[in-house]
Amino acid sequence: MKRWFWALVVALSLGLTLLGLLRPRAEQGLAVNVVRVEQGEFIREVRASGTVEARVYTLTFPRPGRVAEVRVREGQAVQAGQVLAVLETVNETAQRRVAAENLQALRARIQAQEAEFASNRTRLQNQLQEARRNLSLLQALLATGGVAANEVRQAERQVKDLEAQLTSLLQNRLSTQRELQAQLQARQNELAALERTIAQSTLRAPVAGVVSSVGFLVGVETTAPGGSGTSPSAPAIRLVEAGSLRVQARLSEAEIPFVRPGQPVRIELDAAPEQPLQGKVDRLGVQAEVAAGGGSAVLPVFIRFLDPQAEALARPGLTATANITTLRLPSALKIPLEALVEEQGQRFVWVVDTQSRTVRKQPIVLKARNLTQAAVEGLAEDSLLVSLPPETLKEGSKVSYRLPGAGGR
């Protein structure tokens, strides 16, 4: 009797095992991956690569000379008008002192000659006035026979002689004035040229900024720039204007409608990817161009740095990636793009009923999407969705799934 009992138990066990193995997989449920609907901030970004650029001033002395002082170093911040370097001016200063003394002496000479002319003119005018009065008196006496005609003629000669002297004095004064004015102009030009030379011996910052390179050495002769501009190899101080740093990036034509001035930007320098910088879209270019190698067109977009530390990290010529925030939703229902199904103009997801382990098709409204997520309407937060749903999935299908960190269901 016991032998039959144990035989029955073994047979029943084998039967149940065989039944489990042969049971259709549909009853166990189709194995799928699932994701949850999340509530939170949704951000859509546009990525564009480009280079850092800035207004860079290449500063040289406008005249040749020996460098006397270099007052700045690479990386130093300077203010507009600040002295950067100075040439030697010992000879020019001495020449200016002599020229100033000569000019002062010439002016004193001109002043003395003017005083002498005024004195001689006053004297001759007084003498002429007296001679004319005397002539008039003699002419009156001649009419009454009081004086001889010879005395009248002598008085007339005296008047003419004084008039000639006065005319000669005026003519000589004009000639002397022209000569002295020419000398004065020459002295003034000489002094102005020396002062200009001395002024050109001081190199100043035209704007506030940061010194990017210093090419001058104290005691070394420097040459004046040529007529065609400064040679790249010529000694110079290069100054990056404060606040002029920006990124010029290339924006794909498909992204142009989403980008506007003022949008926030996260800038990642290839030289310092672990230190992203904040910026904003300054403006879009006015003309698109075909990207290198053909293909779609790109439009320049200019991005201004907002981070104070950009001056220390960014350098003109560095490559950068601009992540432009084109849309920010403070609170939205977010799903991974793998859960979104688009067929024949319709958008839907497969929602998992955790109680019955079945799925249903749920139409949704797509508000926006980025590279990894979609912001949608028409779902409940924490809903379970099928990720990458298989084509065999149907309304009401049973599924089995595994949540991250949990067992299968």
Q: What is the pLDDT of residues 207-227, one digit of tens each?
A: 999 998 999 999 999 887 755
> How confident is residue 22, by pLDDT bands cut at 50, 70 and 90?
very low
> How confident is residue 295, by pLDDT bands cut at 50, 70 and 90?
confident
> How confident is residue 18, by pLDDT bands cut at 50, 70 and 90?
very low
Q: Dihedral sign, CA of 24, 28, 29, 30? A: negative
Confidence at residue 11, expressed as pLDDT on a 0 to 100 scale? 56
Neighbours of 360 (CB within 10 A): 14
Minimum mean pLDDT range among 43-47, 170-174, 308-312: 308-312
Confidence at residue 141, expressed as pLDDT on a 0 to 100 scale? 83
- What number of H helices and E strands is found in the chain? 5, 23
Segment 227-235 shows an average pLDDT of 61
Minimum mean pLDDT range among 4-13, 141-150, 399-408: 4-13
The domain limits of the chain are: 46-54+244-330, 58-88+201-225+234-240, 90-199
Stronger pLDDT, 145 or 62, i.e. the higher one: 62
Entry pTM: 0.63
Segment 337-359 shows an average pLDDT of 93
Structure tokens at 345: 């103009």
Confidence at residue 128, expressed as pLDDT on a 0 to 100 scale? 87
Q: Any long-range contacts for 220-223 (C-beta under 8 Å, 24+ apart)?
A: 220/66, 220/67, 221/64, 221/65, 221/66, 221/67, 222/60, 222/61, 222/64, 222/65, 222/66, 222/67, 222/87, 223/64
Mean pLDDT of the chain: 87
Per residue in 152-175, pLDDT (tens digit) is: 889 889 889 989 998 998 999 898
Cβ neighbours of residue 214 closer than 8 Å, sequence gap 6 or more: 70, 72, 73, 74, 237
Per residue in 361-396, pLDDT (tens digit) is: 999 999 999 989 999 999 999 999 999 999 889 999
288: pLDDT strictly greater than 50:
yes
Three-class SS state of 330? strand
63: pLDDT strictly greater than 60:
yes
Per residue in 196-206, pLDDT (tens digit) is: 999 999 999 99
Structure tokens at 19: 């039944």
For residue 208, give the nearest of 237, 238, 240 by alpha carbon: 240
Which fold, 90-199?
Helix Hairpins (1.10.287)
What percentage of the chain reaches a pLDDT higher than 90? Answer: 64
Minimum mean pLDDT range among 4-13, 124-133, 389-398: 4-13
DSSP category for residue 15: H
CATH dotted code for 58-88+201-225+234-240: 2.40.50.100
- C-alpha to C-alpha distance for 191 and 285, rounded to whole angstroms: 51
Element (H, E) at 141: helix 90-143
Most confident residue range from 1-10, 213-222, 227-236: 213-222
Confidence at residue 51, expressed as pLDDT on a 0 to 100 scale? 96
**46-54+244-330 sits in which CATH class?**
mainly beta
81: pLDDT strictly greater than 90:
yes
What percentage of the chain reaches a pLDDT higher than 70? Answer: 89
Confidence at residue 311, expressed as pLDDT on a 0 to 100 scale? 81
